Amino acid sequence: MPVFPSVEWFDAIKNIVNQDPEFRALGTVDSVIGVKVGGKIYELIFEAFECTNVREATDNDLRDMDFWLEQPYDKWQDMIENIKRNGKAGLSHTLNTLDLSMPEGLARSHDGYRRDAFYRFNQSIQDFFNASAKIDTQFAAAEAVTA
């Protein structure tokens, strides 16, 4: 059972969406996205119709990403559990809704132009996280993530 957060967890999602014709049908996605969970950072590379790579990254790498998604660990957990319960994000748990619900935003960037990739590819990124409904997620202990 993949543990969130981990490269293994994101790889499991990557493998699902890369085989999913509905993900492909959303169209091309060209973006380098970060996911920051406590002290852990992951880089997801999307090119054409696929997520092509997942790796663990560092704070320094954030500057080279179009944007990254960051929220407290308990909010990540809440979002993923909501997706699992509903098969996809509920009305109050979409990435955009979460982004506007936080003063500093969920989607952050050092670049005002590149941050718009969050909007341009919003539905594909949402679909990516929605795919987590198809796996069973084990959540890492909060202390391990926030350290």
Partner 1 sequence: MADITTIPDHLRAKAQEKGWPDDVVQQALATGASADQIIGYMNQGVTAEQARQFLAAQAGGGPEPSDALKAKAADANWPLDLVKRALAMGAAENDLINFMDMGVTAEQAQQFIEQGGGGGASFQVDLSWMDVPTEWNTRAKPTKHGLTLEAINIGKYGDIPDIWPYQTEMPRGAVPIPGVEGMGYSIFEKQEVWSDACAKLYEEAIQRRWRPATDVPWTSIEPLPDDLERAICQICTHISEKEQLEADVLGRWEPEISYGYHEVKLYLATTIFENARAVEVFRKRALSNGGGLGVQSSGWAFRSIVDARNFTEMVAIQMVLHDSLTLGQYAFGEKFARNPAEKFIFAHCLQDKARHLSYGVSHLKYVLLHRPERREEIQRYLDKGEGMLVQDDKKDPSTRESFAMYFAGGKDKIADGLQVYDAMRKTALGQYLARLKWATLDRSQRLQPGLKAYLGS
The least CB distance from residue 120 to partner 1, in Å, is 4
Binding residues for partner 1, how many (CB under 8 A)? 26
Decide whether 4 or 121 has the Cβ nearer to partner 1.
121
Answer for which of 1, 8, 39, 48 binds partner 1 (CB under 8 A) is 48
119 binds partner 1 (CB under 8 A): yes
Residue with tokens 């941050």: 115
111 binds partner 1 (CB under 8 A): yes
Answer for which of 58, 60, 91, 143 binds partner 1 (CB under 8 A) is 91
Answer for which of 53, 77, 82, 122 binds partner 1 (CB under 8 A) is 122
The least CB distance from residue 77 to partner 1, in Å, is 21
Burial class (CB in 10 A: 0-12, 13-18, 19+), 92: exposed
Answer for which of 19, 86, 101, 138 binds partner 1 (CB under 8 A) is 101
Contact residues: partner 1, CB under 8 A: 26-28, 30, 47-49, 91, 94, 96-97, 99-101, 111-116, 119-123, 126
